[in-house]
Amino acid sequence: QNIYNKKSFSRQTEIRHYNTGIKPAVLYASVRLALNRKQELEELKKQERKIIRRILRARYTQEGYRL
């Protein structure tokens, strides 16, 4: 269940949750990965951008993402 799709939390709360809970856990787990491979590092960055877009409720248009 994605808590970032709910509007019961403010964006500031969601960003704080991401920065204090999600991001450190992912970075800690990524120590196990071989980050010298560019593809794995790019995949982590891609997932991070996806989560941030969900938090900001960005919508995709023909021009790009819109907040």
pLDDT tens digits for range 17-40: 888 988 888 877 777 666 567 777
pLDDT at residue 47 in the model: 85
Number of folded domains in the chain?
Answer: 1
| 3: confidence class by pLDDT, cuts 50, 70, 90 | low
Q: Which one has a higher pLDDT value, 48 or 39?
A: 48
Which residue, among 57, 42, 48, has the nearest Cα to 9 in the 3D structure? 57
Spatial CA neighbour of 7 closest among 51, 58, 67, 57: 57
Bigger pLDDT: 28 vs 50: 50
Q: Residue 39 sits in which domain range?
A: 3-66
